[in-house]
Amino acid sequence: MFINTTPLRSQKHQFSLPQPIHYLNCATRAPFSRTVEQAGHTALSQQANPFGLQPDDFFTGAVRVRALFSELINNPDPERIAIVPSVSYGMGVVARNLHRKSGIRAGQKIVMICDEFPSDVYAWDRVITELGLTVVTVAMPAEFPKGELWNQRLLDAIDANTAMVVVPPVHWMYGIQFDLKAISKRARDVGAWVVIDGTQAIGALPFDLEAIQPDAVVCAGYKWLMGPYSMGLAYFGPAFDEGIPLEEGWMNRLDSNQFHKLMDYQPVYRPKAYRYNVGEHTHFLQMPMLESALTQLIDWQPARIQAYTKTLLADAWPILEKSGCRIEPESDTTGRSHHLVGLWLPEQTDPMTVQQALLKKNVSVSARARVLRIAPHVYNDSNDVDALVEVLTQVLM
């Protein structure tokens, strides 16, 4: 991917968000850009008349999306990308194939962080019983700063008895980063798989698959990939070659684009991650939207998005800290991210009450546990931040 060092400016003009709305909530769902919105309208119009549709048209959109996502994450092999409908589906593929892992044995553990998103937790309930595994959850430190110590606790928990490590680049509630390079190296040293839920980071935070070398990466498309809901992308490394898919989709078989021969049932799958595609993965309406979103992200570039969101909120944090709030300090690999920041409110403050006060002033953020999750993007500008700070300083007085 070409590296553009020119700082980003606000891209609010490329979105249809109404002027009174201050949407600082991309971690819940990204708004569509005008380009993505138009791609959806165009696709819908085309589907009104399917005359002339060719067999290859069922496959080509996904080919382009695999290539774009691969460019975004520095993956040299797009054939290792599968189209999935959700993180739970991708994690289900991992669970379905965990018994095939070299050296897997009863008594081993799956290492995770605490307060993880449910899709990354529920996926293992059945397989740990089947294989005799346990789940070890690494607690977040009570004190500030949290990131460095939390990362160290996670590294310490990975030992020769570890079968798999499940970790995100950024915690979905708190915005604290995890040093994926160090974690992956430690896991490889003990022969453990590394599985990453990239949903709350990929697209807004640089992600280098070649440097991290995970076994699997799963990413929902409707947050920082800025695409449609119920679509996602997953990378499955060599450990999953010749594995067991969740479903036996006909499109995943060799020569499946030769419609005149579909009755010649084919036992052989297309190569690498293709067997893990969800059925009907063509997504005639949504695939063009995701393609448009990925193209736009590659142009904006995650590093520039990260720099823009850092600058955007830089003046707000000292003001909010004076009001009794706390945030994780900055650090290259273990501090807070800038596109997703957990703001710890004063002890006596109810996050849901604060969220409702913000909504009355058209400011959208999320309340998660004891924090407000603030998630800006390039469609935000200083007016959005001013509105956030004004309401919070009034509520917290």
Domain boundary among 231, 264, 297: 297
Residues 126 and 238 in one domain: yes
CB 294, CB 31: distance < 8 Å: no
Percent of the chain at pLDDT > 90 equals: 96
pLDDT-based confidence at 191, cuts 50/70/90? very high
Residue 1: pLDDT over 80: no
Residues 138 and 232 in one domain: yes
Residue 4: pLDDT over 90: no
What is the number of structural domains in the chain?
Answer: 2
Asked whether residue 261 is assigned to any structural domain, the reply reads yes
pLDDT of residue 201: 98
Residues 27 and 69 in one domain: no
Residue 138 lies in domain = 46-297
Average pLDDT over residues 56-76: 97
pLDDT-based confidence at 178, cuts 50/70/90? very high
Q: In whole numbers, what is the pLDDT of the chain averaged over residues?
A: 96
Tell me which residue of 291, 343, 245, 340 sits closest to 60, measured CA to CA.
Answer: 291
Residues 162 and 144 in one domain: yes
Asked whether residue 190 is assigned to any structural domain, the reply reads yes
Asked whether residue 2 is assigned to any structural domain, the reply reads no
Residue 2: pLDDT over 80: no
Domain boundary among 297, 331, 360: 297
Residues 327 and 225 in one domain: no
pLDDT of residue 345: 96
Residues 140 and 273 in one domain: yes
pLDDT of residue 3: 82
Residues 83 and 210 in one domain: yes
Domain boundary among 250, 269, 297: 297
Asked whether residue 3 is assigned to any structural domain, the reply reads no
pLDDT-based confidence at 27, cuts 50/70/90? very high
Average pLDDT over residues 58-63: 96
Average pLDDT over residues 24-48: 97
Asked whether residue 1 is assigned to any structural domain, the reply reads no
Average pLDDT over residues 158-173: 98
pLDDT tens-digit profile of 364-389?
Answer: 999 988 899 999 999 999 999 999 99
CB-CB neighbours of 315 under 10 Å? 12
pLDDT of residue 370: 86
pLDDT tens-digit profile of 93-136?
Answer: 999 999 999 999 999 999 999 999 999 999 999 999 999 999 99
pLDDT tens-digit profile of 288-345?
Answer: 999 999 999 999 999 999 999 999 999 999 999 999 999 999 999 999 999 999 999 9
Average pLDDT over residues 145-149: 97
Rounded CA separation 293/297 (Å): 6
Residues 179 and 315 in one domain: no
pLDDT of residue 397: 78
